[in-house]
């Protein structure tokens, strides 16, 4: 699968968030602020995972339909990936 610029940019933003969190920790920021930023980064990662799964699912379903294959198993696998990522 090829990952588009949208997915890559999301991950780059999370990378920046994590660097910022580390900087906050090194500067002795308040625990509440650090946890808030960690939560935001986690949410961003969860959403990125969802986007990767959905884009992959669309691609896989399209390929399976063109090949005349059943797509039910692909959908189940995608749902399981999303559940595991939570």
- What are the structural domains of the chain? 5-85 (1.20.58.1000)
- Evaluate whether 54 touches 79 at the Cβ level (below 8 Å): no
| Per-residue model confidence (pLDDT) at position 85 | 67
- pLDDT tens, residue by residue, 11-63: 999 999 999 999 999 999 999 999 999 999 999 999 998 888 888 777 777 78
If you ran DSSP here, which 8-state letter would residue 4 be given? P
What is the rounded average pLDDT of the residues 59-69? 80
Q: What is the pLDDT of residue 15?
A: 97
For residues 59 and 1, the answer to whether their CB atoms sit within 8 Å is: yes
Say yes or no to pLDDT of 86 above 70: no
């Amino acid at each position: 699968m090829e990952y588009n610029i949208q997915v890559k940019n999301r991950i780059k933003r999370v990378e920046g968030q994590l660097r910022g969190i580390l900087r906050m920790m090194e500067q002795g920021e308040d625990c509440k602020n650090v946890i808030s930023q960690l939560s935001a980064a986690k949410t961003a990662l969860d959403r990125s995972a969802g986007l990767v799964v959905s884009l992959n699912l669309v691609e896989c379903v399209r390929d399976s339909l063109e090949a005349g294959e059943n797509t039910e198993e692909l959908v189940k696998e995608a749902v399981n990936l999303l559940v595991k990522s939570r």
